[in-house]
Structure 1
Amino acid sequence: MSDQQQNQERALKVVRDRIDQVDRDIQRLLNERARCAQEVAEIKSRFDSQDAIFYRPEREAQVLRRVMARNEGPLPDQEVARLFREIMSVCLALEQPLDVVFLGPEATFTQQAALKHFGHSVRCSSVDSLEAVFRDVESGHANYGVVPIENAADGMISHTLDLFSRFNVSICGEVELRTHQHLLMSSAVSLEQLEVIYAHPFALNQCRTWLDAHCPDIERVAVSSNAEAARRVKDSSGVAAAIGGDIAADLFELEVVQANIEDQPDNTTRYLVIGRQVVGPSGQDKTSILLMVHDRPGVLYELLDPFRKRNISLTRVESRAAPQSDWDMLFYLDFEGHSEEAAVQQVLAELESGSVELKLLGSYPKAVL
C-alpha cells in the first residue's frame, strides 16, 4: 500500500470512529426517548383510565414543526422531519398500537398517505369501500381512517363529502401527497421488449403523454387498481410493465424502470385523517364544516360574509346538491383557524343563527410533511 493510500485510510478511520460513536449516542438516545414514551403511557393510563388518548395530532405537528425550524443541515428539513416521524411512530406503538384503515387494495396512494402521516409502526389494513372506512372508525373498530378528499387535477371527491354528512366522525389531520407514477417491471429490460402495460384507468390517463411518446404501440390494459397492475406484472411470465407508485414497487418487489412518468409532476392529492376525538390547537390549524341550506339567490354571499367580516381565510369552498336530505344544497368549507379561537367561534355562531344546518367536521393541524 502506498503512502498516499495509508494516509487516506488513517484519515478515514478517524471519521469512521466518530461515526461509530455518533451511532452509539443515537441508539442510546432513541431508547431513552422510547422509555419516556412508556412513562407517558403509564401516566395516561393511571389518570385517564379507559378514556386515555395516546395519539395527539396537535402535539405531533408541533414537534415536527420544531424539528424543521431548528434544523441546521446538511440534511433537508423534510428529510429530518420524516426521520422524526418514524421515531414518533415507533414510540407511539410502545404506548398503544394504532389501527388505521384505508380504501384498498394494498399498495395504493391512500396507503402511502396513511404511512406518511402515521409512520410505518401503525397497523394498516385495507377495506373495500370509503363507506367501510367511515363505518369502521365510527364504530370504534379502527382508531383512524384515511380518505381522499381532493386532487389538484380532478377536484373534490364528492362521495367523501356525502359520507361526512352521514357519519359522526371528526377530522383529526390532513395529508398532502405528490402522486408520482412510475413504470414498474420485474427486471430491467428495454422498452422495445415490452408487450403490455397494466394500470388503473386514472393512471393511464395521467401518464398519457409519456406513454404516447415512448410506448405508442404497446398494449395498455386497464385494471381495477395500480396494485392489481403490479400484482399482474409480478405473476406474469411475459414481458409486462405496470404503472404505480413507490409503495407498489416495494410491496411487489418491482424495479422502477422509469420514474415520474406522470404528465403533471406537481399533481397532489389531499387526504383527511378521520377519528372520534376532538383535536386541540396546534398553532397552525384548519377547520372544516358542512353547511346545509335551502337554495335561494345570494345564499353563498350570506354564508361567506361572516368570514370576510372577521378576516378569516377560506382555503376551500365546494357546493353540491344535498343527497337524501330536506335541504337543497350542501356546502363544504375549509378555513384557517381552530374552533377554540374566538373569531372562529363567532363565525360558527353567526352561521348557526341563520337558516342553515351546520356540522362541525373538526379542527386539525395543517399538513406538516
Structure 2
Amino acid sequence: MDLKELRKEIDEIDTQLVTLYEKRMKISEEVAKYKINTGKPVFDKERENAKLDWVKSQVHSEFTKHGIEELFLQIMSMSRKLQYQLLNKNGIQDKTSFRLIDTIENKKDKKVIFQGVPGSYSQIAMLEYFGEDVDNYGVETFKDAMETIKNQAADYAVLPIENSSAGIVNMSYDLLVEYDNYIVGEHILRIDQALLATKDAKIEDIKTVYSHPQGLMQCAKYLDQHRDWKQISLQNTAASALKVREDQDKTQAAIASIKAAETYDLQVLQEAINFSDTNSTRFMVVSHEPIFTIKADKVSVCFEVAHESGTLYNALAHFIYNGINMTKIESRPLEGRPWEYRFFVDFEGNLNDGSVQNALMGLKAETIDLRILGNYKKYEE
C-alpha cells in the first residue's frame, strides 16, 4: 500500500472520529440538562478515573495506553467545559462576593497609603494614580499596608507587584493570599534609578550603597563596575536616601529616585544607572472591598492544583476553550509542601462576561482554593 492510500485510510478514520466526537458532545448536552435538574456537580473524578482505567484496558501496548489516556482526558475535559457553559446559560452560576460600582476614581474623602517614606516610588505611583491632592501617608512594611486596609483605617493601598527588570515582588504576591484584600486598579511607573549622596561627596568617596533589594538588582550592571562598594538592602529606596541624609557620611550613597534627592536635599551623583532603559514597575491598588467597575478588563486569580500530571494544563485550558487571553502566570511555593506551588494568573475580561463566568466555574470545580484577587482596569498610557 502506497502513502496516498494510507493517508486516504487515515482520512476516513478521522471522519468517523469527528462524527463520533460530535455525537458524544450531543450526549454531554443531555448530561448537562440532567445535572441542571438534579443539582449534580459537573466534575465527577471517580467516574472519570474509572473511565480512564477502562479505556486503557482496551489497548495492547504501553505507548497506545498512554496515548488513549491523553486522548480521553482531553475529550472529558471538553465535555466538562461544554457542560459548564450550559449551566451558566441556564442561570446556574457560582456567585462571587464582588460588587459592581460606578468608579473608584472618586478621590474625595479617600485615604490612601503607600509603603515607605516620602520620595519613594510607591508614593510617586500613588500620586500619579490618585492625584496630588489625595490624603495619603506612608507605612513601614508591605504587611503594615495590608493590615491597615484590612482594618479599614485607609481606603486604598498602593504596592509594587512586579518590575520589568527584576521580576515579581514575592512579598506582594504572598500577602494577596494571606489577606482578604482585593486589587481594584493598577499603575505602571517608569523607574529611573539614580545614585544619590551628600552634597560634599564624589564618586570616588563612595564605599557603601543602600537601596531596596529590587533597586540593587535593577542596577546590578552598574554596581558590577564598583565591586569594592558594599551593598546593603533596606526596606525602601527612599528610606535609603533618608539614611544618607541623616548620617551625613560622604562615603554612603543611595539608589533611589531623583524625587528622593529633592525630598532629602541630596545631590545626584549619576542619573539613570539601571541597566534597562525601559525599566518600569507595576503597582497594584488594593482595597478591602471586593469591588469592580463595568470598565474593568483584567482579572487576577490564584489557585492550587493536585500534584498530578496534566492538572495545570487542564486548568489553563478553561481560558483557551472560552476564548480568554491569559496575560501572565506566576508560581509561588506552598509553605510546608516542598516542590508544590500556588499559581497566579492574570487574564483579560470582566466578571460580568459569560466567558469569564464559564472559566471561573470550571476552575473552581477543578482546582484547589481558587481565589479571585481582583477585577480592575488594566493600565493604559
Match of 1:207 in 2: 219
Cα separation, partners in 2 of 1:119 and 1:280, compared to 1, 3 Å? same
d(CA) in 1 for partners of 2:325, 2:129: 25
Equivalent-residue separation in structure 2 for 1:122 and 1:167 (angstroms): 25
In the alignment, structure 1 segments of 5+ residues that lack a partner are 1-52, 61-91
- Show the counterpart of 1:138: 150
CA distance, structure 1, for counterparts of residue 206 and residue 333 of structure 2: 45
What letter corresponds to residue 269 of structure 2 in structure 1?
Answer: V
Task: Confirm whether residue 231 of structure 1 aligns to residue 213 of structure 2.
Answer: no
> Structure 1 pair 201/171, CA: closer, same or farther in 2 (3 Å)?
closer
- More displaced stretch, 331-340 vs 258-267: 258-267
Shift of 1:173: 0.4
Distance 2:224 2:305 in 1: 46
Matches of 1:237 and 1:157, distance apart in 2: 31
- 1:40-51 mapped onto 2 (5 Å cutoff): none
Name the counterpart of 1:176: 188
Give the deviation of 1:324 after TM superposition. 6.9
Q: What is the aligned counterpart of 1:279 among 292, 295, 298? A: 292
| 1:71-102 deviation digits (Å, cap 9, x = unpaired) | xxxxxxxxxxxxxxxxxxxxx55x32x22222
Relative distance call for 1:324 and 1:247 in structure 2 (3 A) is farther
Q: 2:322 aligned with 1:310, yes or no?
A: yes
CA distance in 1, matches of 2:161, 2:249: 37
Evaluate the alpha carbon distance shift between residue 208 and residue 156 of structure 1 in structure 2; reply closer, same or farther with a 3 A threshold.
Answer: closer
Write out per-residue CA displacement over residues 87-142 of structure 1, whole angstroms, 9 at most, x where no aligned residue.
Answer: xxxxx55x32x222222244322222222221222222222322222221122111
Once the two structures are TM-superposed, the CA of residue 205 in structure 1 deviates from its matched residue by: 4.1
Cα offset, 1:221, TM superposition: 4.9
Report if the CA contact (8 A) 2:302-2:371 is conserved.
Answer: yes
How many Å apart are 1:363 and its aligned residue? Answer: 0.7
Give me the whole-angstrom Cα distance separating, in 2, the residues matched to 1:233 and 1:355.
49
Q: Which runs of 5+ in 2 are unaligned?
A: 1-99
Letter aligned with residue 172 of structure 1: V
TM-score for both structures, normalised by structure 2:
0.64
Supply the AA of the counterpart residue of 1:229: S
Identify which of 266, 273, 280 aligns with 1:254.
266
Deviation at 1:313, TM superposition (A): 0.8
Amino acid of the structure 1 residue aligned with 2:260: A
SS in 2 for 1:261: coil
1:266 maps onto 2:278 in alignment: yes
1:54-133 aligned at under 5 Å gives the runs 56-57=103-104, 60=105, 95-96=108-109, 98-133=110-145
Q: 1:242 to 1:135 in 2, by over 3 A?
A: closer
Q: Secondary structure at the match of 2:319?
A: helix
Residue 366 (structure 1) aligned with residue 370 (structure 2) = no
Are residue 152 (structure 1) and residue 164 (structure 2) matched?
yes
Amino acid across the alignment from 2:111: D
> C-alpha offsets along residues 166-189 of structure 1, whole Å, 9 cap, x if unaligned?
321221001212221112234386
Amino acid at match of 1:307: F
1:340 and 2:363 matched: no
Q: Does the CA-based 8 Å contact 1:197-1:243 persist in structure 2?
A: no
Change (3 A) 1:135 1:161: same
Matched to 2:292, the amino acid is V
Give the residue type in structure 2 aligned to 1:313: N
TM-score normalized with structure 1 length: 0.66
Partner SS for 1:279: strand
Q: Which residue of 2 aligns with 1:73?
A: none
Number of matched pairs: 277
CA drift at 1:307: 0.7
On the 8 A contact 2:325/2:347 being kept in 1, the answer is: yes
Runs of 4+ off more than 4 Å: none
Q: Which residue does 1:296 correspond to in 2? A: 308
Q: Identify if the C-alpha distance between structure 1 residues 144 and 152 changes in structure 2 by more than 3 Å, giving closer, same or farther.
A: same
Determine which of 340, 352, 364 is the counterpart of 2:364: 352
Corresponding residue for residue 23 of structure 1: none
C-alpha RMSD of the superposition: 2.9
**Letter of the structure 2 residue corresponding to residue 368 of structure 1:** E
- Distance in 1 (CA, whole Å) between partners of 2:189 and 2:261 is 17
Matches of 1:153 and 1:165 in 2, distance apart? 24
Alignment-mate amino acid for residue 353 of structure 1: A
Identity of aligned residues (%): 29
Q: Which structure's CA Rg is the greater one?
A: 2
2:305–2:312 Cα contact (<8 Å) kept:
no
Give the 3 Å change call, closer, same or farther, for CA 357–254 of structure 1 in structure 2.
Answer: same
